Amino acid sequence: MPFCSQCGSAASDEAKFCSSCGTDLTIEAAAVQEVLQGRGPIPLGQEVVAARGVGIGSVRARSALLRGLLGLVAILAVATAISTRVEIEVLERIEASTGSEAEAHANHLRRGALMSVGSLLFVATGITWLMWQHKAHANLRLFGARDLRFTPGWGVGWWFIPFANVVQPVRAVAELHRHSTAGGRGLARVGWWWTFWLAQAALAIAATALAGDAPAVADLITSDYVSVTSDLVNAAGAILAIAVVHDITTGQQARAAERWVTPA
């Protein structure tokens, strides 16, 4: 049974168009058959040419952008942790009556600017991740994967459902990793990445709660220590996410080469 590479929906063998999104299945099938029959060999690393960017090429491009954004997330998290550590030192001096409020205010503004940039970067990275994940999951059907628990749409959709988004997104990414790589090699990294993601979120919530609405200096210091830990955990999680994205993307490239590339 064929699957639409755009939305992952199943289609009958006679179908010419996807009933869910309208993709022309005949163009895609003809492109894949041309490769399988050895007409016009495709060198390793190039995408299978089909309608609307079918195959590994768009996943590879999105992966490169995503890894770059995740790298920036890690760098910015470390910079924010350093700024927060400086703020702790200033607050400790104020508590000991040797520091100035002007110094604390200036550092607070710097930290606020970093956090604002971080918020924008979080949104951009999140959107890119979802686009990459959707396309990569759709590719599993092209590779002939069976008994998949997640469709490309639900793999993305679970991120937005409260409570379920604590468990289901990592299950979807684990399935994607397992079917993209040889024997699920490196699958443990998915678990570690998710552990760091959840830990960072919990620490960030705790830091906000500790600060309160009208915190004393001691409360701010405690909150800042938790924030530093949250930022460093966030940086480590971003690095693990880069490794997960790399595993899946290179695994799909290898599978595409085995399935569609004509030996030279």
Residue with tokens 């997330």: 73
Average pLDDT over residues 121-150: 91
Contacts of 24 (CB under 8 A, 6+ apart): 16, 17, 51
Is residue 43 within 8 Å of residue 262, measured between CB atoms? no
pLDDT at 27 over 70: no
Q: Convert the pLDDT of each residue in 64-101 to its tens digit.
A: 999 999 999 999 999 999 999 998 998 888 888 887 77
- Report the amino acid identity of residue 57: G
- Structural Rg of the chain based on CA atoms: 23
**Three-state DSSP class for residue 98:** coil
The residue among 140 and 20 whose pLDDT is bigger is 140
**Interior angle at CA 21, CA 17 and CA 23, nearest 5:** 40
DSSP 70-129: HHHHHHHHHHHHHHHHHHHHHHHHHHTT-S-HHHHHHHHHHHHHHHHHHHHHHHHHHHHH
Predicted confidence at residue 197, as pLDDT, reads 97
List, for residues 200-257, the tens digit of each pLDDT value. 999 999 999 998 776 788 898 999 999 999 999 999 999 999 999 999 999 988 887 7
Q: Tell me if 40 sits within 8 A of 113, measured CB to CB.
A: no
Q: Which two tokens stand for residue 187?
A: 């699958």
Torsion angle (degrees, nearest 10) of CA 177, 10, 163, 122: 60
Residues ≥6 apart with Cβ < 8 Å to 146: none
pTM for the predicted model, two decimal places: 0.77
Residue at 166: amino acid letter: V
Look at residue 256 in the predicted model and tell me its pLDDT: 77
Query: Residue 216 — φ and ψ, nearest 5°?
Result: -80, 170
Q: Using DSSP, how many helices (H) and how many strands (E) does the chain show?
A: 7, 0
pLDDT-derived band at 26 (thresholds 50, 70, 90) equals low
Instruction: Find out whether 198 and 166 touch, Cβ atoms under 8 Å.
Output: yes
